[in-house]
Structure 1
Amino acid sequence: MEPTMDAWAITRPGPIETGPLERVVRPVPRPRGHEVEIEVLACAVCRTDLHLAEGDLAPRRPGTVPGHEVVGRVVSQGPDAELYAPGDRVGVAWLASTCGVCAYCRRGDENLCPYSTYTGRHRDGGFARRLTADERYVHPLPETLPVTTTAPLLCAGVIGYRALQRAEPPERGVLGLYGFGASAHLTAQVALAQGATVHVMTRSREARELALEPGCHSATGAYDPPPEPLSSAILYAPVGDLVPTALRALDRGGTLAVAGIHLTDIPSLDYRRDLFQERSLRSVTANTRKDARAFLDFAAEHPLTVAVTPYPFDVADHALADLAADRVRGAAVLLP
């Protein structure tokens, strides 16, 4: 009889209160080609998982298992796999594959590959006991890193790191962060380590309190003006109304990077108020493997404080609902 496992699948995308995430039983996946089979030790819950569940970002096939911040252990290998051996600890992130031959891949921008696939959207992710992944897109993790606090690094940390690059803060500049969830919490620590002044604007009182713990210089309401002009800013909250607010907070020549994969409609911009004086508005699209490895190397050299709220695997639906309601401190992490 074929072995089975428990998993959580998006069966009916819709508002979180309608129960789009459902407990299911699936066959244990077997690796093919360059794939490895991975036992899930921890999987962080990302806002992208919420967007998939609620249908803001459509899953690519029915019944997809979400989850793309996975710390796991290799169990078995496909016939062409040779980079990892059973027992190795690895991380599985959002980027699952690229074509490797298009113009974007060849120039080093594999995050823009039109044929890219993503963990938890195109292929089943870490809201399960096991998953398979192409070993060429898997990241080695040392045994010394705690599984619970390492899982959020694989998306919240990596995408925050890329968003910081896209915002192009000058040396010892003034950075504004709009929204303060798991990704912003890690980005703030990276920016502070690099000598930036960091101001946080977010709606949640608890998030504002959390922002002050690593040393952010101020934490106010989402629409409040920062105490000084920002040389750069990152928008994490998926709220288009905040785009003109953040642009107006920029100093001359400043850049706003929008870090989310989903954003509500942006209202009309006033060119003179919002963009003139060479202010820039940029998007952030996924990340490259190079980004992930650079950030993981940074995290190894500069230990980061990772705020997490652990959840048993059996209540993954509750974790997603808590994320939707801003009841999660830091990152929610499922622990099978």
Structure 2
Amino acid sequence: MADIDLTTIWAGIIGFAVFAYVVMDGFDLGIGILFPTFSVGEERDQSMNSIAPVWDGNETWLVLGGGGLFAAFPLAYAIILPATYPLIIAMLLGLVFRGVAFEFRWRDARHRAFWDVAFSLGSVLAAFTQGMTLGAILQGVHVENDAYAGGWLDWLSPFSLLTGAAVVVGYALLGATWLIWKTEGSTQERARRLALPLGVATLVVLGAVSAATPFLTYDYWRRWFAIPGVLLTAQVPLLVAICAVTFFWGLKRGAERLPFMTALGLFFLGFVGLGISIYPYVVPRAVTIWDAAAPPQSQLFMLVGAAVIIPIILAYTGWAYWVFRGKVGTHGYH
């Protein structure tokens, strides 16, 4: 029982870290995705300044999620990484180019147009590969003798391309709604105009992924539609509908915070749906969290460290967002 408790706790910690990364880094990746739609000058500068104090801290959760997977579930790490190496490498390169561009566009004004392109392309690449990685894992990984036994391009499929596009669209929605909340003037108005079609597109791709997932394997179908479980799983699309109605109502009423909060709600419900589909597997239909778990002594040792570090990260993150809680202008927060 102790092993199961520790393993479940660590699965929850890693799940929390991944979700925190998605929602926090998602909106600043979304701003990069939308960057070409903003006019050169004030709109782009205002968009950049809205995430300047928090964008690098947001990526802390990616490190925690990846490092936690390696430490707490080493077998899963050893299977998933070889199965998705090209995607992971592309994602890291996208994040690197994006980060470099973020700093250099202010310091190298002569080549600002180049850095703007690098910032946008890096954001699109990172978002798309994250979505494809999710799709590649969800569609199943070929495992033999506790090792990856698939090919170099097994991750490439129509389903993984769909999930890649879905994450790009969803991140763009988060970026637009963040700018509605944090900016003023023409930047806010442009973000508001973008949010409506992006909201519709997000619901379309979310519906497409949700419709396609049960057909990947009967196990997914059973989890969603078998009685009596369907009585619980049916609440997820109902809550998505409530979130969607609230989102469009908030946009129509000119709300500033509500669109962002409801967009986060859509992501949370998508994350819940993912959990319903795969739990307790960490490599779907191949390796459970208990199969992949590190020895309980290691999990307990790491849990002590996590119990100290995670509250510190949460406190720092909350403090940073509180300090920079106002509107942002061309030259920073005010």
TM-score (norm 1): 0.24
TM-score (norm 2): 0.24
Between Structure 1 and Structure 2, the one with more strand by share is 1
Between Structure 1 and Structure 2, the one with more helix by share is 2
Q: Which has the higher contact order (CA 8 A, sep 6+)?
A: 2
